[in-house]
């Protein structure tokens, strides 16, 4: 396994073909909104200068990268002052971090409330204490076998009909199981994040028909997540609580000649990259999906509002 820096590249310029006041895609009778996700205040400042009207702020995967309470308040008020919508994103957490997340949730509740993306059942439980907060399931609480990077679903010789049944399971999410969906809705969940895996999109209609707001992440699919950060270990970070956050600017390609699979190490997660297209976005809209999520990171190669607006324009083409 070879690790090499994942180099950021320039965003290709495209013609401005639609009104980007709200960075929304007009798809016939449907409108697809685009939320921008950032992990730190510098990136948030760039995102606020873009045409997008919805900001997601926080750490999706790493509990060590949770913002300070003051940074969270700054992010919230800056977004509100800009007249844009704010969403707080939280990772999976160890027990030691529950007091900190309760402090964050209490702050947001006092500030007037917001939507919180939750990737931890403990966080979801704590949210029941705060009436002004709305839970939205993150990708780590929405399971799908199709995140697996291998091309073959099974190595065993099976019949055509058996393979078709396996594919039906492989390309579902955990929320397609009725009792699971009802469990989360009973806890107040109104929406959920899923990955850009086109084979699962046919199964999203049943979720939107049950009034679940589905958001689809663009460009990167997490295939493995650890609590300890392998990227920090690789770069010699000795104290994760005082990590220098190299993940804000770096990602590393992982070359495996035996498996012939391209993946990327970013923080405490390994990703495979995807390439969204407008035709599939249009199909998503017809299935009731109304939001895409674009994360500013070394993986998306977007770190400024000009790069961000350029990428949003390319999705309009």
Separation of alpha carbons 216 and 35, rounded Å: 10
φ and ψ of 183, to 5 deg:
-60, -50
Residue 313 has a pLDDT of: 80
Separation of alpha carbons 104 and 126, rounded Å: 11
Biggest distance spanned by C-alpha atoms of the chain: 59
Domain ranges in the chain are 18-223+274-316
Residue 152 has a pLDDT of: 64
Residue 156 has a pLDDT of: 65
Separation of alpha carbons 281 and 215, rounded Å: 12
Residue 8 has a pLDDT of: 40
Separation of alpha carbons 35 and 55, rounded Å: 6
Q: What is the mean pLDDT of each run of 10 residues along the chain (317 residues)?
A: 46 31 63 92 96 95 96 98 97 95 98 97 97 97 87 66 74 94 97 96 95 96 90 88 90 79 90 90 92 94 89 77
By CB atoms closer than 10 A (0-12, 13-18, 19+), residue 241 is exposed
φ and ψ of 86, to 5 deg:
-115, 135
| 266 strand-pairing partners | 269
Separation of alpha carbons 51 and 22, rounded Å: 6
| 148 strand-pairing partners | none
Cα torsion 308, 311, 315, 316: sign: positive
Spell out the residues 6+ positions from residue 194 whose beta carbon is closer than 8 angstroms to its own: 139, 142, 144, 173, 200, 204, 214, 215, 216, 217
φ and ψ of 283, to 5 deg:
-65, -40
Query: Of 188, 190, 148, 146, nearest to 170 (Cα)?
Result: 146
φ and ψ of 241, to 5 deg:
-70, -20
Residue reference for tokens 């070394």: 298
What is 18-223+274-316's CATH number?
3.20.20.70
Structure tokens at 35: 């939320």
Separation of alpha carbons 133 and 232, rounded Å: 33
Spell out the residues 6+ positions from residue 72 whose beta carbon is closer than 8 angstroms to its own: 57, 58, 88, 104, 107, 108
The DSSP symbol for 226 reads: -
> Could you count the other beta carbons within 10 Å of the beta carbon of residue 144?
22
């Amino acid at each position: 396994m070879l690790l090499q820096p994942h180099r950021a590249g320039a965003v290709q310029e495209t013609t401005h073909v639609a009104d980007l006041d709200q960075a929304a895609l007009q798809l016939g009778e449907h409108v697809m909104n685009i939320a921008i996700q950032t992990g730190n205040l510098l990136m948030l400042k760039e995102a606020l200068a873009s045409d997008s009207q919805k900001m997601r702020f926080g750490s999706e995967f790493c509990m060590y990268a949770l913002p300070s309470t003051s940074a969270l308040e700054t992010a919230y008020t800056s977004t509100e002052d800009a007249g844009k919508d704010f969403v707080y994103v939280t990772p999976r957490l160890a027990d030691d971090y529950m007091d900190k997340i309760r402090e964050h949730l209490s702050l947001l509740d006092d500030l007037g409330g917001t939507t919180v993306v939750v990737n931890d059942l403990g966080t979801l439980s704590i949210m029941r204490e705060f009436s002004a907060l709305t839970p939205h399931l993150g990708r780590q609480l929405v399971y799908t076998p199709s995140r697996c990077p291998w091309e073959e679903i099974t190595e065993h010789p099976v019949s055509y009909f058996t393979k078709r049944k396996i594919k039906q399971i492989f390309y579902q999410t955990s929320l397609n199981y009725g009792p699971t969906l009802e469990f989360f809705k009973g806890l107040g969940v109104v929406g959920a994040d899923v990955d850009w895996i086109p084979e699962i999109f046919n199964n999203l209609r049943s979720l939107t028909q049950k009034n679940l707001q589905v958001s689809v992440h663009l460009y990167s699919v997490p295939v493995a997540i650890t609590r300890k950060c392998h990227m920090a270990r690789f770069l010699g970070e000795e104290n994760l609580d005082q990590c220098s956050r190299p993940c804000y600017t770096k990602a590393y390609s992982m070359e495996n000649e035996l498996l012939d699979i391209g993946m990327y190490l970013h923080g405490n997660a390994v990703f495979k990259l995807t390439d969204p297209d407008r035709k599939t976005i249009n199909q998503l809209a017809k299935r009731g999906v109304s939001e895409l999520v674009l994360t500013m990171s070394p993986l998306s190669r977007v770190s400024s509002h000009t790069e961000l607006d350029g990428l949003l324009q390319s999705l309009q083409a």
